[in-house]
Chain A
Amino acid sequence: MSEPIVKLEQVSFSYPAVEGRPHTALKDVTLEVEEGSFVAVLGHNGCGKSTLAKHMNAILLPLGGKVWVAGMDTADESRWLDVHRTVGMVFQNPDNQIVANVVEEDVAFAPENLGVPSPEIRRRVDEALEIVGMSKYARHAPHRLSGGQKQRVAIAGVIAMQPRCIVMDEPTAMLDPVGREEVLKTIRRLNREQHTTVVLITHHMDEAAMADRLVVMDHGEVIADGTPRTVFQKVELLRSVGLTVPDTVELLYELRQAGLDLPLDALSVEECAQAICGCLRSN
């Protein structure tokens, strides 16, 4: 197997104390992100998931342990530019990520910084806008776009940098349902069609369910790691840290508690219905 794109080794981190004791955000986190995979990191507010994201491209440096990005130690200041270029980052608020007054100028920002020649920048910008479905808006002013459109422009701005991995820190948190759906569709396409590694930080169950791998965090620690199917079966564990499970799993779990012999690994409504039908039939 090839080298993981991001590798965290027993990383711990705490924020400096404002009042009283310092706040521990990460405790001995060890995690590897395989190239080409789609990993969701799920957890409640303050569980350390954003802090984890910021470690993946050297915005924050671990106080204990090591972070490796494509074999580069993020503590090595001379490699930061390469680290930023390898792992792109999309933040929660699209307004605070857009630099320029015109959509295409903003998308061009990263390749401009990297010193890419003009014709190549033009090609990358057109391609990135095409991937996020915003080609029509290339000449528009960002502040006139909807939240979902702005966030897609922000994603295009990262795509144009051609990173191997994109970390998204709750990219849908500030969007309305329509904008959220647009952005999620873009993220899925990015992983399936462009084969970009995606790390999606979220607290939405259904967003997490679309990933190949699900990492659940609580109080700065990884408490579950596996495919969404296996992780969602740990209903008690998830509930104990204040997370809910998808409705389908919830239903099957309750029926099981009531004494029915049902599997817990049905994520889609169809699978769930089939499982229940199968169970009723055998009775």
Chain B
Amino acid sequence: MLKDITLGQFFPGTSLVHRLDPRTKLLCVVLYIAALFTAAGWVSYAVVFALLAVAVGISRIGVKALLRGMKPVVVILVFTGALNLFYTQTGTELVHLGFLHITTGGLERAFFMVTRILMLISGTFLLTYTTSPIALTDGLEHLLGPLKLLKVPVHDLAMMMSIALRFIPTLIEETDKIMSAQKARGADFEGGSLLDKARAMVPLMVPLFVSAFRRADELATAMECRCYHGGEGRTRLKQLRFQAADWAVLALFVALLALIVVLKLRFRV
């Protein structure tokens, strides 16, 4: 049951998408999302979609893997689709069922909204699927660097994030162990009502929390023993470096956003 948790799942690989600097990928995702929300018509959507399709193709991440990630948002998709379908009353009427009117305008709008959400999720998944959590945190720390001037503790936040990621498997293992121990003494995690299930979690959560605090304390001491004293004067084993490909890809995405904006303002497509 606990093995299903796929937080920031990462598929290692050697494709161009994998090899790009994490900062490039983060910036590209931001530009991509901006383009997606600016897109106003069929042409714009087609352009954005084409770019996404090419990126997915290069990354060699299967379409199946991308779609598997969509499962949790199916409800939102259906809901959004239905709302837009029934509440947009423009264009010619196609179907009239009692109080429900389906119009061409509604159909178009619902299609765009659902496509937008699907493409939004695919784009961000592509980022986390092709970038290791460490690289992602590293990239974020660099990109948010300027916020340090506003006294935002960027380094500390990045460090917390990477330690949290490091401890997920450890804590999952620990939870499994405690669960087995409790089951061996007759605890029942499966049966009963929702309330019973919640109640059964108490003897699981308490020891887990106690041990997490103990771990945190020990880790802090160990980090201090290894001369950790904040981000000041810290160097890295692997320095992030922009390659030619990074600049090219970044330029491509800037061009994409510009194109979409022009399409919207000049041609409304």
CA distance A114 to B237 in the complex (A): 12
Chain B positions 131 through 147: 1 when the CB is less than 8 Å from some CB of chain A, otherwise 0: 01110000000000000
A160 → B minimal CB distance (Å) = 9
Chain B residues 202-257 with CB under 8 Å of chain A are: 215, 218-219, 221-229, 233-239
Residues of B within 8 A of A122 (CB): 237
Closest to B217 in A: A96
Asked whether any CB of chain A lies closer than 8 Å to the CB of B268, the reply is no
Is A16 interfacial (CB 8 A cutoff)? no
**Which one of B173, B219, B229, B237 contacts A97 once the chains associate, using CB atoms below 8 Å?**
B219
A109-B227 Cα distance, complex, nearest whole Å: 9
B240 to chain A, nearest CB (A): 11
Assess whether A96 is in contact with B222, with CB atoms less than 8 Å apart: yes
Q: Give the most central of B162, B173, B229, B235: most A CB within 10 Å.
A: B235
Are B223's CB and A118's CB within 8 A?
Answer: no
Q: A98-B166, A100-B134, A100-B162 are in contact. Are A112 and B237 (CB under 8 A)?
A: yes
The answer for the CA separation of A112 and B134 in the assembled complex, in Å, is 15
Known: A91-B218, A99-B163, A143-B170. A110 touches B226 (CB 8 A): yes
Q: How far apart sit A272 and B65, CA to CA, in the bound complex (Å)?
A: 66
1/0 per residue, CB under 8 A from B, across A153-194: the answer is: 000011001000000000000000000000000000000000
Closest to A98 in B: B166
| Contact, CB under 8 Å: B237 / A121 | yes
In the assembled complex, A62 has its CB within 8 A of some CB on chain B? no
**How many chain B residues touch the partner (CB < 8 A)?**
29
Q: Is A244 an interface residue (CB 8 A)?
A: no
Whether, in the assembled complex, A49 has its beta carbon less than 8 Å from a beta carbon of chain B, the answer is: no
- Is B227 a contact partner of A113 (Cβ separation < 8 A)? yes
Residues of A within 8 A of B47 (CB): none
> Measured between C-beta atoms, what is the minimum distance from B44 to chain A in Å?
39
Q: Which of B191-207 contact A (CB under 8 A)?
A: none
A89 touches B235 (CB 8 A): no
CB distance A81 to B237 under 8 Å?
no
Question: Is there contact, CB below 8 Å, between B166 and A113?
Answer: no
Encode A73-115 as 1/0 by CB contact (under 8 A) with B: 0000000010011001101010111111110110011111111
Q: How far is the CB of A99 from chain B (nearest CB, A)?
A: 6
> Are B134 and A102 touching (Cβ within 8 A)?
yes
Verify B221–A113 contact, CB threshold 8 A: no
Q: Which residues of the other chain, A, contact B55 by a CB distance below 8 angstroms?
A: none
| CB of B91 within 8 Å of the partner chain | no
The verdict on A200 contacting chain B, using a C-beta distance below 8 Å, is: no
Bound-state CA distance A101–B224 (Å) is: 18
Among residues 133 to 158 in chain A, which have CB atoms less than 8 Å away from a CB atom of chain B?
141-143, 157-158
Question: With the chains together, A85 CA to B228 CA distance in Å?
Answer: 10
Residue B13 interfacial (CB < 8 Å): no
Cα(A18)–Cα(B7), bound, Å:
40
**9 A-B interface contacts by CB (under 8 A):** A85-B227, A91-B221, A91-B222, A101-B132, A105-B237, A108-B237, A121-B237, A125-B237, A157-B226
Q: Which residues of B contact A (CB under 8 A)?
A: 132-134, 162-163, 165-166, 169-170, 173, 215, 218-219, 221-229, 233-239
Closest 6 CB pairs of A and B: A108-B237, A96-B218, A110-B226, A97-B222, A143-B169, A89-B225
Sample of 13 further A-B pairs with CB below 8 A, known A81-B227, A118-B236, A141-B169: A59-B224, A84-B226, A89-B225, A91-B218, A96-B222, A98-B166, A99-B166, A99-B219, A101-B162, A108-B237, A113-B234, A118-B239, A157-B226
